[in-house]
Amino acid sequence: MPSANEPPIVSLRDVHQSFGDVEVLKGVSMDVPKGAVVCIIGPSGSGKSTLLRCINGLVPISRGSIRVGSFDVHSLRTDQEKIALRKEVSIVFQQYNLFPHKTALQNVMMAPIHVLKEDKDQVHVRAVALLKKVGLSAKADAYPGELSGGQQQRVAIARSLAMRPEVMLFDEITAALDPETVKEVLNTIRELAQDGMTCMLVTHEMRFAREIAHDVYFTDGGLIVESGPPAELFDRPKMERTRAFLSQIL
Amino acid sequence: MSRRRWNDALPRGTDLPVLMPSAMRLAAEAANERRSGSAALRLQPAHGVALLVLFMVGLGVAHAQAGAGDPSILATLWKWTPVLLGGFMFNLAISVMAMTIGTVSGMLLGFAQISLLPPVRNGAWLTTHFFRNAPWLVLLFYCMFLLPFQVTIFGVTIPIPDWIKATFGLALPVMANVSELLRGAVQSIPTTQWESAASLALTRRQTMWMIILPQCIKRMLPPWMNLYAILTMATVLTSIVGVAEMMTLTGRALSAENRPGLLLAFYSYVLFWFFLYCYPIARWTVRLEAKYAVDH
């Protein structure tokens, strides 16, 4: 459960970001307490994915500030600085992005061995445990091409977890999956949340967001239109735009 | 990248801002690949049959023109075969050496082409495109006449025979083509692989060696073998600058025999040997291409 006294682990202040002439984020602010699960919902192109990418430094911001733990993400310039941040913040992508020439187990083991420089045997033990946790013990030696979308996505989650991050970002990770496999991936995230991992999800799974989130943010046109606990935002939306969006989707 | 170009890429690409850098890159890549599409060598069994027919016609011509006391055409070919094959081995030796030199230097040049440092990148780009677009024969002549016929290192004089110079001459276009192959292969790996590696905190160097290059090798192998087959056939160019390879020896054999009727048969015979060597490589390339097309 998130605690109210600690400082937030992720904190955004007036974040602006543009690609060329197109302003994608137009001043986004949010605080995510440690251990909280935050869902970001909104129409396509509203800047949700960009927001996540900004948080782990994949996309530089043009104005404002992003703090994650002890890092000022907006002022990280060198690769070394970004690498330090990315040990703390891990992202899982919509298209899984596993390394196709490595087995599931090798995918999970790679970063801890080569980035954290941990002992290979210990990493192996942990990787096997992580694959078990996401329900893929039997697929450890399979290549990504031999796995279903849902299985690949769970390997991707295990791969991120292997870095023992403080914060996990999930970028529409169920959007490319069929409805049945969505469930297995969501179950994995549910367990993570119960373990107290700080999670930020961009999602279109409203029912799941309502069930799991401590806070829900509705974004449109690069701005946060409305935010609040799921019960409030889904059942008693204050803004007209939020109502319109939810009536389309629910 | 300028803002202008991002917008140019938009109409054909995407209106999702997150995807814009990728869309722009892909558009540029596609244009580049259209511009520099490499020549593909596709030997078919039918080519072998055609060659055989040509050879038979050659035999017929030679037979018809043979004088009363001349030995049979097949016997003449057989007599010269050891000499010709000796020359052919020379062709193969030159091709293997030029390929080795060209591949090693081409990989280095290719890495320079994807360097993050603009001067290195631009220099490598210029070098690659100069040698890639220059006629092979011109490069061959350059090397023949610009390289010294001997070098003296620490008082030891090492002669450089013509065929070594010719090998360097052929290695230059190979280098440029390999450089372009590497650049193309690296850029054909989806950006998402770089992103995903970056988000796992891998450095650029680690990403290159552990994620990108292993995937590139598969993509590079078929065109690389194709390039080798083309190079092997280009080794006959060295006959023009006087290297004693198969073509040169065929010419000498023909002038020694002094029977114009043998011309067609002899040159078909030379073609036949090249076919015999290049055909398996071409088939193997096709098989690899099919295999890797399914894998991805």
Spatial contact of A217 and A210, defined as CB atoms under 8 Å apart = no
Amino acid at A131: L
Residue A55 within a domain:
no
Name the residue among A19, A114, A145 with its Cβ closest to that of B6. Answer: A19
Residue A129 is part of which domain span?
96-164
Q: Do A44 and B16 touch (CB under 8 A)?
A: yes
Q: Given CATH 1.10.3720.10, say whether it is the number of domain B89-295.
A: yes
Tell which residue, A238, A217, A164, has the closest CA to residue A52.
Answer: A217
pLDDT of residue A126: 94
Chain A residues whose CB is inside 8 A of the B21 CB are 19
Residue B282: pLDDT band (50, 70, 90) is confident
Q: Measured between CB atoms, which of A20, A21, A86 is closest to B199? A: A86
Residue A237 domain-assigned?
no
User: CB distance A79–B204 less than 8 Å?
Assistant: yes
**Weakest-pLDDT range from A90-94, B30-34, B134-138, B150-154:** B30-34
Sign of CA dihedral B142, B148, B150, B154: negative
Structural domain count of chain A: 1
| Token duo for residue A83 | 């690498």
Q: From A102, which residue of chain B is nearest by alpha-carbon distance?
A: B211
The reply to whether A181 falls in a domain is: no
Report yes or no: A170 and A203 within 8 Å, Cβ to Cβ: yes
- Edge-to-edge strand list for the sheet holding A63-68: A22-32, A10-19, A63-68, A71-72
Q: In angstroms, what is the C-alpha Rg of chain A?
A: 18
Instruction: Tell me the pLDDT tens digit for each residue of B185-230.
Output: 999 899 999 999 999 999 989 999 999 999 998 888 888 998 999 9
Residue A148 resides in a domain: yes
> Mind listing the pLDDT tens digit for each residue in B28-54?
656 545 544 444 556 778 888 888 888
Asked, for residue A107, whether it belongs to a domain, the answer is yes
A111 in reach of chain B (CB within 8 A): yes
Residue-by-residue pLDDT tens, chain A, 250 positions: 555 567 889 999 999 998 888 888 999 999 999 999 999 998 888 888 899 999 988 888 898 999 998 888 888 888 788 888 988 999 999 888 999 999 999 999 999 999 999 999 999 999 999 999 888 999 999 999 999 888 999 999 999 999 999 999 999 888 888 888 888 888 888 988 888 899 999 998 888 898 889 999 999 988 999 999 998 998 888 888 888 888 887 6
More confidently predicted of B256 and B40: B256
User: What ipTM was reported for this prediction?
Assistant: 0.88
Closest Cα of chain A to B216: distance in Å?
11
State whether residue B109 is helix, strand or coil. helix
Return the DSSP state at B43: -
Nearest CA in chain B to A19: B17
With a cut of 50, say whether residue B7 has pLDDT above it: no
Domain-wise residue ranges, chain B? 89-295
- Tell me if A171 is assigned to some domain: no
Residue B78 neighbours by CB under 8 Å, 6+ apart: none
A99: contact with B, CB 8 A cutoff: yes
